[in-house]
């Protein structure tokens, strides 16, 4: 019987003949079928995946060297393009649209012999924190099906959590990888902005978006990052800096210098039990020889407002291309002028949360309000970047809670969008300043749900971040 622990162990079994790629695909297809009610997958490319698995098995048996991700079974969030396959951003506005090219990240995966198994459910256009805002219906948390898996990459998180694929890709604009990873008890990474090309990622907010990775362990996640990161001529924001090789020796046993924000651990929004667990964990780190210090951070309550002003402004511009003329859904009324046609198409095609954010973004960019909101939010962002640079002059990493509470019940926050937005208080900071951040599963709440710790490092110190996260998980 096929079982999976890590990419390294899986590839050893492939080389020894203990298993093969076809068996892996058959296993995951069967698992997906048995867990259809979780609603993690939108589409499963069963025939295509089996054909590629057979080809990889033949290639390996011929004696040719294996690619880094040879036979690794991967799911893609439904905002990442894969040529010739349907992509909709979980929205009716892109109904029946087929990608005409593949994202650079996907091309890199395929070049290293990965197998793409299917597309994964999410909040519409990656706008949400619960994976309830999808035209395909809500995603369920496999640990407690009455609770949300987090969002917007909820399907990607559940796919790894429930053993429906080995690793998955999501996108993180303000916590959309780290928050569902926390709710589902797995590992989720948002790389440095520019570390991974955004070419082929459907845009929500272009200066915030970053493709992220879900896995059950750090070495798997690191191998995928090494594969998809790097320069891309199709994305001017993609850096030429490689993140480095996670498995290379660090060359020192020096304990990291770690900061945490005092205001974050004493914030009234943070669950008391979670705060106590994280505080006790910090005490343990000090006993183990880590230099951990609390620092003052006066910007915490400004982060969420600045984030939603800037991201919705960018969204209102990015989503203006969905007009029903060139692709996707269109209203078929014949008795309307062009303006009415646009209005009907977009009103019918977009969901409630997306329309809310488009209207908010249009408002903050409008004459008379631009300086009062957008300009001020940009000033906050600049101050956050400057403060972050000063912090990393003295520290190697920052630790924070990932979320203020464990996974909440389905429908619990849908009637109060402000409460939902405030749940992003600890994750949006990394996107505002462009630093890498990871959520690792360390704790369990008395209600039975997991919760994690968020770790951040300086820009393009992704490998150092992964090493520290791996070290803390092993302890």
DSSP letter string over 403-414?
Answer: -SSSPPBTTSST
Distance CA(211)–CA(102), nearest Å, equals 14
CA atoms 171, 142, 403, 128: torsion sign: positive
Show the domain range for 212: 1-475
- Give residue 253's pLDDT: 61
Indicate the pLDDT class of residue 255, thresholds 50, 70 and 90.
Answer: confident
Q: What's the rounded mean pLDDT across residues 381-397?
A: 98
207 with 314: CB under 8 angstroms?
yes
Nearest of 393, 423, 208, 400 to residue 297 by alpha carbon: 400
158 with 197: CB under 8 angstroms?
no
Distance CA(307)–CA(303), nearest Å, equals 6
- Give residue 252's pLDDT: 54
Using DSSP's 3-state secondary structure scheme, residue 75 falls into: strand
Does residue 301 register a pLDDT over 70? Answer: yes
What distance lies between CA 442 and its chain's CA centroid? 19
Contacts of 405 by beta carbon, 8 Å cutoff, 6+ apart: 269, 270, 271, 274, 423
- Give residue 240's pLDDT: 79
Which one is catalytic: 43, 77, 130, 131? 77
pLDDT one-digit tens code per residue, 261-277: 999 999 999 999 999 99
Indicate the pLDDT class of residue 285, thresholds 50, 70 and 90.
Answer: very high
Strand order in the sheet with 291-295: 41-44, 115-120, 73-77, 167-171, 211-215, 187-190, 437-444, 450-456, 397-401, 257-261, 291-295
CA angle 42, 159, 223 (to 5 degrees): 120
Q: What residues form DSSP beta bridges with 201?
A: 80
Contacts of 140 by beta carbon, 8 Å cutoff, 6+ apart: 37, 38, 39, 147, 149, 158, 410
Does residue 242 register a pLDDT over 80? Answer: no
Give the C-alpha distances (Å, rounded to integers) separating 458 from 190, 348, 396, 425, 463.
Answer: 13, 43, 7, 19, 11
113 φ/ψ angles, rounded to the nearest 5 degrees: 75, 30
Distance CA(14)–CA(17), nearest Å, equals 5
120 φ/ψ angles, rounded to the nearest 5 degrees: -115, 140
- Give residue 243's pLDDT: 82
> DSSP class of residue 173?
S
Does residue 368 register a pLDDT over 80? Answer: yes
Does residue 348 register a pLDDT over 60? Answer: yes
Does residue 47 register a pLDDT over 80? Answer: yes
Give the C-alpha distances (Å, rounded to integers) separating 272 from 108, 232, 311.
Answer: 43, 45, 30
- Give residue 434's pLDDT: 98
> DSSP class of residue 124?
G
Which one is catalytic: 176, 197, 239, 464? 176
Q: Using N-to-C axis directions, what is the helix angle for 104-111 and 218-228, rounded to 10°? A: 110
- Give residue 344's pLDDT: 94
Does residue 417 register a pLDDT over 90? Answer: no
21 with 115: CB under 8 angstroms?
yes
- Give residue 379's pLDDT: 98
Average pLDDT, the chain: 96
Indicate the pLDDT class of residue 112, thresholds 50, 70 and 90.
Answer: very high
- Give residue 250's pLDDT: 67
Distance CA(317)–CA(323), nearest Å, equals 12
- Give residue 33's pLDDT: 98
397 with 255: CB under 8 angstroms?
no
- What is the tally of structural domains in the chain? 1
Q: Are strands 187-190 and 257-261 parallel, antiparallel or unpaired?
A: unpaired
Does residue 370 register a pLDDT over 90? Answer: yes
172 with 431: CB under 8 angstroms?
yes
- Listed as own residue / partner, the contacts of 20-25 with beta carbons closer than 8 Å and 24 or more positions apart are 20/53, 20/57, 21/52, 21/53, 21/54, 21/56, 21/57, 21/60, 21/71, 21/115, 22/50, 22/53, 22/54, 22/57, 24/53, 24/71, 24/73, 24/115, 25/49, 25/50, 25/53, 25/73, 25/115, 25/117
CATH of the domain at 325: 3.90.1300.10
Nearest of 389, 399, 426 to residue 292 by alpha carbon: 399
Q: What's the rounded mean pLDDT across residues 320-338?
A: 90
CA angle 394, 397, 399 (to 5 degrees): 125
Q: Is 176 a catalytic residue?
A: yes
Q: Is 320 a catalytic residue?
A: no
Q: Is 3 a catalytic residue?
A: no
- Give residue 254's pLDDT: 73
Q: What's the rounded mean pLDDT across residues 4-9?
A: 97
Which one is catalytic: 43, 130, 134, 152? 152
pLDDT one-digit tens code per residue, 58-82: 999 999 999 999 999 999 999 999 9
- Give residue 1's pLDDT: 72
Does residue 4 register a pLDDT over 90? Answer: yes
Give the C-alpha distances (Å, rounded to integers) separating 223 from 105, 218, 220, 236.
Answer: 13, 9, 5, 24
- Give residue 244's pLDDT: 83
Indicate the pLDDT class of residue 433, thresholds 50, 70 and 90.
Answer: very high
Total-model pTM: 0.97
Give the C-alpha distances (Å, rounded to integers) separating 380 from 173, 193, 259, 300.
Answer: 17, 18, 21, 11
Using DSSP's 3-state secondary structure scheme, residue 82 falls into: coil
What separation, in Å, do the N-terminal and C-terminal C-alpha atoms of the chain show?
31
Identify the weakest region by mean pLDDT among 21-25, 43-47, 326-330.
326-330
């Amino acid at each position: 019987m096929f079982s999976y622990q890590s990419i390294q162990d899986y590839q050893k079994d492939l080389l020894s003949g203990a298993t093969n790629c076809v068996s892996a695909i058959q296993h995951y297809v069967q698992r997906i079928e048995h867990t259809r009610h979780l609603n993690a997958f939108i589409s499963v490319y069963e025939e295509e995946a089996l054909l590629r698995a057979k080809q990889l098995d033949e290639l390996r048996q011929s004696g040719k060297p294996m690619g880094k991700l040879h036979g690794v079974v991967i799911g893609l969030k439904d905002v990442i393009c894969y040529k010739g396959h349907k992509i909709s951003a979980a929205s009716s506005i892109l109904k029946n649209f087929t990608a005409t090219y593949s994202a650079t990240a996907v091309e890199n995966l395929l070049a290293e012999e990965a197998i793409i198994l299917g597309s994964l459910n999410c909040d519409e256009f990656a706008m949400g924190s619960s994976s309830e805002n999808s035209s395909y219906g809500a995603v369920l948390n496999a640990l407690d099906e009455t609770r949300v898996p987090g969002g917007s990459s909820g399907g990607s998180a559940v796919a790894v959590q429930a053993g429906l694929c080995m690793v998955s890709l999501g996108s993180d604009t303000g916590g959309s990888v780290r928050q569902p990873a926390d709710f589902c008890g797995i590992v989720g990474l948002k790389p440095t902005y520019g570390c991974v090309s955004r070419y082929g990622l459907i845009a929500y907010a272009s200066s915030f978006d970053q493709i992220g990775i879900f896995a059950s362990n750090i070495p798997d996640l690191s191998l995928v990052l090494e594969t998809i990161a790097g320069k891309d001529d199709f994305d001017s924001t993609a850096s030429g800096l490689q993140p480095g090789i996670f498995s290379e020796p660090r060359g020192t046993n020096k304990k990291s210098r770690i900061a945490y924000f005092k205001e974050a651990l004493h914030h009234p929004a943070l669950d008391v039990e979670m705060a106590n667990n994280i505080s006790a964990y910090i005490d343990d780190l000090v006993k183990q020889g880590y230099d951990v210090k609390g620092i003052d951070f006066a910007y915490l309550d400004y982060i969420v407002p600045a984030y939603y002003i800037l991201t919705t402004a960018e969204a209102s511009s990015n989503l203006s291309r969905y007009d029903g003329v060139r692709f996707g859904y269109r209203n078929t009324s014949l008795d309307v002028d062009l303006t009415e046609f646009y209005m009907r198409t977009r009103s019918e095609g977009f969901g409630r949360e997306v329309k809310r954010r488009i209207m908010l973004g249009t408002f903050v960019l409008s004459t008379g309000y631009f300086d009062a909101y957008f300009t001020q939010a940009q000033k906050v962002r600049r101050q956050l970047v400057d403060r972050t640079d000063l912090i990393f002059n003295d520290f190697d990493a920052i630790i924070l809670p990932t979320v203020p509470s464990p996974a909440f019940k389905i429908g619990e926050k849908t009637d109060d969008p402000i409460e939902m937005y405030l749940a992003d208080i600890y994750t949006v900071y990394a996107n505002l300043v462009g630093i890498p951040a990871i959520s690792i599963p360390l704790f369990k709440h008395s209600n039975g749900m997991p919760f994690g710790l968020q770790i951040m490092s300086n820009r393009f110190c992704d490998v150092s971040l992964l090493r520290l996260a791996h070290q803390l998980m092993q302890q």
